[in-house]
Amino acid sequence: MSQEDVALVEEEARQAMDKSVRSLRAELQKVRTGRASTALLDGIQVDYYGTPTPLNQMANLTTPDARLIVVNPFDKSVIQAVEKAIQASDLGLTPSNDGKVVRIPIPALTEERRKELVKHVKGLSEDHKVGVREGRRDALSMLKDLVSDGSVPQDEGRQAEKKVQGLTDDFVKQIDAILSAKEEEILEV
């Protein structure tokens, strides 16, 4: 039974840490880098006949070039609402429409804004590292409980603690690699 308990604790830790890494990736996709990406518009809700609806569920989103996003609503009558929702977002983008599609030019980032974004991205990565460490803390606490109630021998508990620490180190390295790639993307002119 003890091996199963230890394996379960390790798997829970791995899942918690992986969740933190996936969450970081999702958040970083929304960070504007000066390059057009439909992921920038992921959080935008449009008032569609009184119901807040995600923009990506009511329109085709495309990036015909590196500095432009085109929003092609399925229902052309909501084009004004789509434009208003994009303007109301905190992205700082200025959409324009021609009655059929909404075009969103992505302006180049200033050096100052790039530095702000790098600082923001570093903060996000640090928050997610904390999530990884919380997964480690929870796992170590569960292992300590298993050892103290006699379900797992002490030497097995120590080995499991080393595995959990190894997992933590691996996930922190993944976060650092993701951060490094995003910083490079932001600072690239």
Domain 2-30+110-187 has CATH 3.10.20.30: no
CATH placement of domain 38-105: 3.30.1360.40
Tell me the pTM. 0.72
- Find residue 61's DSSP bridge partners: 71
Q: Kindly report, residue by residue over 69-84, the tens digit of the pLDDT.
A: 899 999 888 888 888 8
- Can you give the C-alpha Rg of the chain in angstroms? 23
Phi and psi at 37, nearest 5°, equal -150, 130
Backbone angles phi, psi at 92, to 5 degrees: 70, 30
pLDDT tens digits, 118-136: 898 999 999 999 999 999 9
Judge whether residue 189 has pLDDT over 70.
no
Backbone angles phi, psi at 42, to 5 degrees: -55, -40
Domain positions in the chain: 2-30+110-187, 38-105
